Amino acid sequence: MKPAVLAAIDAAAPLPYYLPAGDECELFEHAFRHQLPLLLKGPTGCGKTRFVAHMAARLGRPLHTVSCHDDLTAADLTGRYLIKGGDTVWVDGPLTRAVREGAICYLDEVIEARKDVTVVLHPLTDDRRVLPLDRTGELLEAPPGFMLVVSYNPGYQNVLKALKPSTRQRFLAVEFDFPEPELETRVVAAESGLPEARVAALVRLAGALRALKGQDLEEGVSTRLLIYCATLLRSGIKPDRAIRTALIEPLTDDPDVRDALLRVAQVTLG
Ligand SMILES: Nc1ncnc2c1ncn2[C@@H]1O[C@H](COP(=O)(O)OP(=O)(O)O)[C@@H](O)[C@H]1O
Ligand SMILES: [Mg+2]
């Protein structure tokens, strides 16, 4: 337990900044209250992780975030026996810790994880809300404060890496996208400190670059990259250089595509 003083300081800390695009905060609260798991779909860098951090703080729950990758196994989430000073001790993984504490567990890019991971999630996502730990013989019941949130980027989806219907039909799903221009301008200005008037031009450029998605580009410029660009501008980097470094080069390695994007930038920004 935290000393009361520290807990009070935590409670007074400002929430991680998140500007809602719609009713996603209410939806999250209702899902939490009714102990329903939540799936967030959307492109990279559009605010999913920030949203979960904001909601966890707002609901006063600790947050355990796991970035999933193709080596991630069920044991990485649940825990394993480790040798410590000659003894074998059980060490909880982040999912187990979240269940024990009644915390929010956020699995980012869940689609990347190995297949056996979904097997662990299933009993937590139906009305049993349990986590069986085969290795220790425990059957943990998730307390009301526990919530499972997963995210994935449908844009990267391929046949091999689709979320199986038997898994996805266990979650409420909320779609995310890059914020509307006016909203995105406020977000980028708030995060970078660049005045909104200057940010607005960048957001317009982002719109033009995003329109090319699917033709030459796999992914459009993210809100995250816009914030990087605005941060460079605010720090005194010349616009041409900031735009190229933050908004063009990260998107492509193809010189022809890059030149086309640079032309779009010139035309859009004049
Ligand atoms: N609606 C929003 N409110 C506040 N910040 C946002 C919002 N959308 C995006 N951001 C900013 O964009 C950055 C990238 O978002 P992030 O949550 O990491 O994306 P994702 O998890 O979807 O890849 C965040 O660090 C934050 O600065
Ligand atoms: Mg993320």
Q: Tokens for 117, please give them.
A: 């991971």
Identify which has the larger pLDDT, 83 or 161.
Answer: 83
Angstrom distance (rounded) from CA 135 to CA 133: 5
Nearest CA to ligand 1 atom 17: 47
Where are the chain's structural domains?
4-175, 181-269
Average pLDDT over all residues of the chain:
91
Angstrom distance (rounded) from CA 62 to CA 204: 37
Q: 156-198 pLDDT, tens per residue?
A: 655 556 778 888 889 999 999 999 999 999 999 999 999 999 9
Question: Class of 4-175 per CATH?
Answer: alpha beta
What's the DSSP call for residue 23? S
pLDDT at 12: 65
- 93 C-beta closer than 6 A to ligand 1: no
Alpha helix stretches (DSSP H) within the chain: 4-12, 24-33, 48-58, 74-78, 94-101, 115-125, 165-168, 181-192, 196-210, 223-234, 239-243, 255-269
Ligand 1: which atom is nearest the Cα of residue 176?
A: 22
Nearest CA to ligand 1 atom 20: 45
